[in-house]
Chains A and B, each alone.
Chain A
Amino acid sequence: MFDSLSERLNKVFQQLRRRGKLSAADVDAVMREVRVALLEADVHYSVVKDFIARVRERAVGVEVSEALNPAQQVIKIVHEELIATLGAPARLNLSGQKPHVIMLAGLQGAGKTSAAAKLAKMLRDQGERVLLVAADPYRPAAVTQLQTLGGQINVPVFHVEKKAPPALVKQAVDTARKGGSSVVILDTAGRSQLDDGMMTELAAIHQETTIGETLIVVDAMTGQEALNIAAGFNKSIPLTGIVLTKMEGDARGGAAISIRSVTGIPIKFLTTGETIDALENYEPERLASRILGMGDMLTLIERAETTFEADNAREQAEKIITGQFTLEDFADQLKQLKKMGGIGQVMDMLPGNMGAAARMQSPDIAEKGLKLTEAIISSMTIDERRHPDILNASRRRRIARGAGTEVQNVNRIIKQFREVQRMMKTFKKSGRQGLAGMFR
């Protein structure tokens, strides 16, 4: 449904004549596309308007260079402005007297309770002594939910039945101080910023207890209302950071820009899955790429880098460049893919259409395919792996038997390997240009 911004812009530029400089009319045409991309990413209407004005100013008169085509140049400007708008990553402020109190607030269903548990685990793993506080007496079983999660990560959960949240929080912080806790995390009830009674309660908690961090928890899928929501919360309690939840979905997360621009508070964390470890530090480049529909390639690249042992990676790179990539290396790469969290997770990080296409496939089936490939390659002799040319019909039959499969599958794997090999040879010949061509 969403074309990536680069695809959109390339379409526009195909209709423009290439001149030395981008004219105001050229830029207008481009800005229309940028505007649509941002609106589709749920950035607030008025924020888009301001943003476009800023980018337009920078883009008019830009020299069209040899290295970058006009589309790429404008994307670069848009990307830079977006990163500037999203702001630098900020750390949790854990200074001053202990215990440091962190309060989580937000709408119903934003993901506060899950985020509280994830944050508790992260901080505990960093050596903090954490106390979770269940301050949501309204939603049925909200307390039980936090207690269950606390139990899973071995973090104590404080709660007193039938005690109003401001008094409850006060007592919790006292208990934390006496018990030697270094961090207290408050899970408050979900509320609308328009609910005066509930917002007064939030303000009361804030007044009666010294709170170091007040984080607003916002669902990444939130639309235009993100702006009003954040402004409303910020009016009642001084917010110090944003937690953007449910980022493992395919929402672009433009709400983050709206909130940043209306409150000026930094984004601090993203949650990226249902497991209790799925809390990540915020990276502006990554979020900007996502909002523009450029995928989460950075995460993918980073994870690939940390997973591939450095030596191995260098060796493989050399082989690719010299054209000596063999079936043995192919099997090696399959193993690395597994280490990166399985094919399902890798698929989720691919950009736009590529990701959507990949997700249409069952990770289980894909995983099975990988296992079969591994089995087939393991059934080959070392000689066969290094010199696939010797694989005649009788050898292929033997391999199929060894892998417990049909000859057709063996043929298919060999064919696939040949294609990869051919692609790499092309890449080697054309160098950088060839690579750029692949992604155009």
Chain B
Amino acid sequence: MPDLFSKWKKGLARTRNATFGRIASALGATELSADTWEEMEAILLQADLGVGETSGLIETLKNSANEKGLTHIKDLQDELRLQLLNRLDSPDPIDINQTPYVIMIVGVNGSGKTTTIAKLAHRMVAEHQKTMLVAADTFRAAAVDQLQVWGEKLNLPVIAGQQDADPGSVAYDGIQSALARKMDVVFVDTAGRLHTRFNLMEELKKVQRVISKALPGAPHATWLILDAATGQNAIAQAKAFKESVDVTGIILAKLDTSAKGGMAFTIQRQLGIPILYVGLGETIDSLEPFNREAFVEGILESLPASSGE
């Protein structure tokens, strides 16, 4: 087990000392008390799971504590870990079952779309997939340049339009080019947009329609990039993007910061969108497939219980 996510743990290592350790001090006591429940609640809320999901979890915990006759804090922590794990899916591996396999990347401004695409492309190249990048963010100043720099670094073709060009036509050109050059995987980078901007969400739908016109069945996947530090607004984001472009997976970027990304847990629970990858650093190889155990450890890392295992 440790090998499976040792890299993940390394990414998280620097967060360990930074987070609160209040429950550790409360652990002098080993018997359950009212404080224990409050501490548990505090941990879940501070991991951004949200009020609804947290109270649901605490309720379940209380019930199973009664049923199983749990009286020690340690037992309760194990139960909490189990409950969190049970609520998360392990995503299926990405199946490149047809080529070119087109993946559209969407998200709000600053969530980390372009950097994540570079990391994803790096992974695909390692798996010997012929990969192409399409820079359909023609709005933000220098967004195209940013993707092109990555393309050069990774030695990958980048199809780009002019600043302020129609993103749909750039995407169309990209797919045409990928077909002609017999690419395996195509990543389409889109402009960051807040999910509340009606016109921008319409534009995104159009980009998706254009892609499916250029290649029926495409995009084969649409991934939403979420900043791990986002709070409850992430749920509104996921809902809106799902409604507009049918998001099929979530990538949780910047999880190497002190943020726990608990809202991704809530999104998976409420909207059924699986978390596929997590971003764990600035280097190109710092994107890891989602791992339930490591993610839950991240949420619970202020609990000292796992040291005994």
Interface size on B, residues (CB 8 A): 55
Interface stretch of the complex, out of A35-43, A208-216, A372-380 = A35-43
Given known contacts A109-B254, A144-B142, A359-B198, A251 and B229 CB-to-CB distance under 8 angstroms: no
A127 near B: Cβ within 8 Å? no
- A144 touching B145 by the CB < 8 A rule? yes
- Enumerate A239-253 residues with CB–CB distance to B below 8 Å: 246, 248-252
Chain B hits for A45, CB < 8 A: 42, 45-46
- B198 touching A1 by the CB < 8 A rule? no
- B231 touching A109 by the CB < 8 A rule? no
Nearest chain A residue, comparing its CB with the CB of B47: A224
Flag B40-73 by CB within 8 Å of A: 1 or 0 each: 0010011110110000000000000000000000
A381 near B: Cβ within 8 Å? no
A254 to B153, CA, bound (A): 39
Chain A hits for B260, CB < 8 A: 225
Which of A107, A110, A152, A250 contacts B233 (CB under 8 A)? A250
- B195 touching A249 by the CB < 8 A rule? yes
- A44 touching B46 by the CB < 8 A rule? yes
Interface stretch of the complex, out of B12-20, B85-93, B119-127, B288-296 = B12-20
- Enumerate A325-366 residues with CB–CB distance to B below 8 Å: 344, 348, 359, 361-364
Flag B233-267 by CB within 8 Å of A: 1 or 0 each: 11111000000000000000010111110110000
- A219 touching B198 by the CB < 8 A rule? no
- A362 touching B202 by the CB < 8 A rule? yes
Chain A hits for B257, CB < 8 A: 107, 192-194, 225, 229
A222 to B229, CA, bound (A): 6
A108 to B146, CA, bound (A): 14
Which of B50, B141, B198, B282 contacts A148 (CB under 8 A)? B141
- B258 touching A192 by the CB < 8 A rule? yes
Which of B141, B196, B198 contacts A149 (CB under 8 A)? B141
- B50 touching A219 by the CB < 8 A rule? no
B232 near A: Cβ within 8 Å? yes
Which of B19, B111, B194 contacts A228 (CB under 8 A)? B19
- B233 touching A249 by the CB < 8 A rule? yes
Q: Which of A40, A223, A255 has the most CB of B within 10 A?
A: A223
- Enumerate B141-174 residues with CB–CB distance to A below 8 Å: 141-143, 145-146, 148-150, 153, 163
Interface size on A, residues (CB 8 A): 56
- A108 touching B254 by the CB < 8 A rule? yes
**Distance to closest chain B CB from A34 (angstroms):** 12
A404 to B238, CA, bound (A): 42
A137 near B: Cβ within 8 Å? no
A364 to B198, CA, bound (A): 9
- B231 touching A359 by the CB < 8 A rule? no
Flag A128-165 by CB within 8 Å of B: 1 or 0 each: 00000000001111101101110010000000000000
A366 to B142, CA, bound (A): 33
Chain A hits for B140, CB < 8 A: 145
Nearest chain A residue, comparing its CB with the CB of B235: A1
Which of A42, A196, A228, A363 contacts B231 (CB under 8 A)? A42
Which of B50, B146, B194, B256 contacts A40 (CB under 8 A)? B50
A323 near B: Cβ within 8 Å? no
A21 to B142, CA, bound (A): 61
- A255 touching B231 by the CB < 8 A rule? yes
- B229 touching A140 by the CB < 8 A rule? no
Which of A232, A255, A274, A362 contacts B198 (CB under 8 A)? A362
**Distance to closest chain A CB from B18 (angstroms):** 5
Chain B hits for A219, CB < 8 A: 110, 227, 229-230
Chain A hits for B235, CB < 8 A: 1
- B51 touching A39 by the CB < 8 A rule? yes
Chain B hits for A110, CB < 8 A: 110
- B46 touching A221 by the CB < 8 A rule? no
**Distance to closest chain A CB from B189 (angstroms):** 13
Chain B hits for A42, CB < 8 A: 48, 231-233
Identify the 6 closest CB pairs spanning chains A and B, nearest first.
A223-B231, A109-B110, A42-B231, A140-B149, A148-B141, A145-B142
**9 further A-B pairs in the complex, CB-CB below 8 A; given A147-B142, A224-B46:** A1-B236, A42-B231, A195-B14, A196-B14, A225-B48, A249-B196, A250-B236, A251-B231, A359-B198
Which B residues are closer than 8 A to A by beta carbons?
Answer: 14-15, 18-19, 42, 45-48, 50-51, 108-112, 115, 139-143, 145-146, 148-150, 153, 163, 194-199, 202, 227, 229-237, 254, 256-260, 262-263, 282
User: 23 A-B Cβ contacts within 8 A?
Assistant: A39-B51, A42-B231, A46-B42, A108-B254, A138-B282, A139-B146, A140-B146, A145-B146, A147-B142, A152-B141, A194-B257, A223-B230, A223-B232, A223-B262, A224-B259, A225-B260, A226-B231, A246-B109, A250-B195, A252-B232, A359-B198, A362-B199, A362-B202
Which A residues are closer than 8 A to B by beta carbons?
Answer: 1, 36, 39-42, 44-46, 107-111, 138-142, 144-145, 147-149, 152, 192-196, 219, 221-226, 228-229, 232, 246, 248-252, 254-255, 274, 344, 348, 359, 361-364
